[in-house]
């Protein structure tokens, strides 16, 4: 490598002193030889690196990815200690006993590790109390918290009264709304403005088209 680099440097110096076609061709030839030599070195290093990596990986994985070598089978298993404490040399019992022994190595007999798997499908059913709750009439407590949780600076009904007006005496307004609500439910139908007033009062936040926002 050093000789080829020196040859290129000499050719460059010669071409700078005498820029003739002959010196130009000599410089190009030396540069091409240097580049080819560098490419060959790079290719050789890459092949060596690949071979070294392949050799190291093979040394690490050959015990798992390949069939066992003959030298691993030189020590036969000639006896087996049975569950009753006796030792047997019967090849059939040895062949049957070792798989059971190996399988029990990772199987705990502790009662604390009982399988907790449950059924994948569980029907979802509300309790009776939760089923009856939506059918119950709105109480004064519900109206009270609807008033107190409402955001300020908004009109809850068509009368355009701000929510701060209701918050002045919330206990009185809750009793009034409870009477009105029960009376309208007994009629079975509310007017458009009454429905709007009740929904505006019970509105919490978010999209008004969603039921869970009331």
| 32, 99, 143, 177, 197 from 157: Cα distances, Å | 91, 79, 14, 12, 4
Same domain, 133 and 208: yes
Same domain, 140 and 169: yes
State the average pLDDT over residues 88-111.
76
Pairing state of beta strands 87-88 and 80-81?
A: antiparallel
What is the domain range of residue 92? 80-108
- Read off the pLDDT of residues 73-87 as tens digits, 9 standing for 90 and up: 566 778 888 888 888
User: Given this model, what pLDDT does residue 158 score?
Assistant: 47
Q: What total of structural domains would you count in the chain?
A: 3
- Say if residue 124's pLDDT is above 80: no
d(CA 121, CA 110): 28
- Read off the pLDDT of residues 100-115 as tens digits, 9 standing for 90 and up: 777 666 666 666 655 5
- Read off the pLDDT of residues 140-152 as tens digits, 9 standing for 90 and up: 788 888 888 888 8
- pTM of the entire predicted model: 0.29
**Residue 113 falls within a domain, yes or no?**
no
User: Given this model, what pLDDT does residue 182 score?
Assistant: 72
173 or 121, higher pLDDT: 173
């Amino acid at each position: 490598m050093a000789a080829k680099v020196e040859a290129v440097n000499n050719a460059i110096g010669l071409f700078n002193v005498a820029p003739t076609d002959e010196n130009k061709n000599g410089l190009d030839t030396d540069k091409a030889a240097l580049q080819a030599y560098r490419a060959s070195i790079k290719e050789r290093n890459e092949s060596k690196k690949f071979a070294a990596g392949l050799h190291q990986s093979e040394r690490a994985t050959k015990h798992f990815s390949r069939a066992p070598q003959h030298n691993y089978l030189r020590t036969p298993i000639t006896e087996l200690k049975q569950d009753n404490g006796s030792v047997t040399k019967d090849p059939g019992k040895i062949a049957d006993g070792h798989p059971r022994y190996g399988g029990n190595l990772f199987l705990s007999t502790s009662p604390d590790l009982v399988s907790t798997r449950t059924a994948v499908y569980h029907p979802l059913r509300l309790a009776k109390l939760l089923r009856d709750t939506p059918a119950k009439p709105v109480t004064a407590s519900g109206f009270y918290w609807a008033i107190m949780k409402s955001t300020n600076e908004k009109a809850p009904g068509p009368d355009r009264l701000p929510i701060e007006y209701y918050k002045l005496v919330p206990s009185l307004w809750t009793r009034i709304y409870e009477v009105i609500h029960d009376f309208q439910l007994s009629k079975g139908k509310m007017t458009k403005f009454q429905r709007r007033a009740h929904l505006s009062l019970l509105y919490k936040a978010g999209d008004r088209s969603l039921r869970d926002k009331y």
